[in-house]
Amino acid sequence: MAFPYQRNRRLRATEAIRDLVAEHHLLPTDFMVPLFLIEGERKKEEISSMPGYYRFSLDLLIEEVKDCYSLGLRSVLLFVKVAEELKDNEGAEALNDDGLMQRGIRAIKIAVPEMYVMSDVALDPYSSFGHDGIVVENEIVMGDMAVSHARAGADMVAPSDMMDGRIGYIRERLEDEGFKNTGIMSYSAKYASSFYGPFRDVLDSTPGFGDKKTYQMNIANSQEALSEVERDIEEGADIVMIKPGMPYLDVLRIVKDNFNVPIAVYQVSGEYAMIKAAAEKGWLPHDEVVLESLIAFKRAGATLIATYFAKDAVRLLKG
């Protein structure tokens, strides 16, 4: 039926009808909150390239997790900043059952047991070279690291290193050690992106040599993401992730159209920094742009969104 009988504007006339016919909604359970843990006490350090975002010592991190929980957020994605003297090229500290990550996981699960804890599994914060893997026996270290996190109580481990075959290996090690219910969220399609800069400042993990182009995906490719995802699902990934977010919405969409597992997307540090910087200058309206960027992920097919705006978003959604 043609105009004037069909008028698309009828369904846009008021806020009520717009909400009633909205195809997507944002919920607190859509978000994973990335958290940065540091050694010390009563420490809350603002990250200069990520205004309004902080690194916390464990005591204050627990307060932060409680706050997130009370806002309705149900999952955190934990990263640690490792002391320089503990870094080497074997990732020894990554396997320390009493390391910062392991203590962090245990403390969160004791303080807020219902919070779903995901832990980053990669060696960049532990490596003197700032790379995600090590040259020798990488899989073994990743597997042992995942087991150590599971033992500390992690609900799900999140390998972000992009080394081939590590999902299968980690799954096998978790099964062997009796952690059959510990999940794996794989950073399946993680691009060699320039949007990670602020994050590397956070953890002091800028590569000491070279770049990550031999293991992270080529920014020019999208079909290749399908083979990465397929392999990770075959190897036992429960959730697959696309990263970064906004510049890769097309990738999110094709993965959604081709697979039936939950898909996570990571709105990375550089995306956060861009929005913050433009808002600070008065060039963009902060709250509206935040919500627009997040609904775009839902539209493109994301089940879960890792975002530094998680707390802002739930506050805004509550109105």
Note the residues at the interface with ligand PBG (CB under 6 A).
120, 122, 124, 132, 160, 196, 199-200, 212, 268-269
> In angstroms, what is the minimal distance from the CB of 3 to ligand PBG?
46
Measured from the CB atom, is 66 or 138 closer to ligand PBG?
138
Instruction: Give catalytic status of residue 190 as yes or no.
Output: yes
Instruction: Give catalytic status of residue 87 as yes or no.
Output: no
Find the catalytic residue in 243, 276, 298, 311.
243
Of all residues in this chain, which one has the CB nearest to ligand PBG in the complex? 199
User: What three-state secondary structure class fits 240?
Assistant: strand
Measured from the CB atom, is 75 or 160 closer to ligand PBG?
160
Which tokens go with 255? 């993965």
Q: How many CB atoms are closer than 10 A to CB 96? A: 15
Tell me the CA distances in angstroms from 14 to 11, 20, 25, 114, 314, one per residue in order: 8, 10, 17, 39, 23
Q: How many CB atoms are closer than 10 A to CB 93? A: 21
> In angstroms, what is the minimal distance from the CB of 196 to ligand PBG?
4
| Measured distance CA(286)–CA(235) in Å, rounded | 40
139-176 burial, b for 16+ CB within 10 Å, e for fewer? bebbbbbbbbbbbbbbbbbbbbbbbeebbbbbbebbee
Q: What is the 3-state secondary structure (H, E, C) of 190-216?
A: EECCHHHHHHHHHHCCCCCCCCCCCCC
Find the catalytic residue in 87, 109, 190, 298.
190
> In angstroms, what is the minimal distance from the CB of 200 to ligand PBG?
6
Which tokens go with 94? 């990554």
Measured from the CB atom, is 268 or 310 closer to ligand PBG?
268
> In angstroms, what is the minimal distance from the CB of 197 to ligand PBG?
7
Measured from the CB atom, is 79 or 258 closer to ligand PBG?
79
Measured from the CB atom, is 127 or 182 closer to ligand PBG?
127
> In angstroms, what is the minimal distance from the CB of 100 to ligand PBG?
15
| Measured distance CA(163)–CA(165) in Å, rounded | 7
Residues with catalytic roles: 190, 243
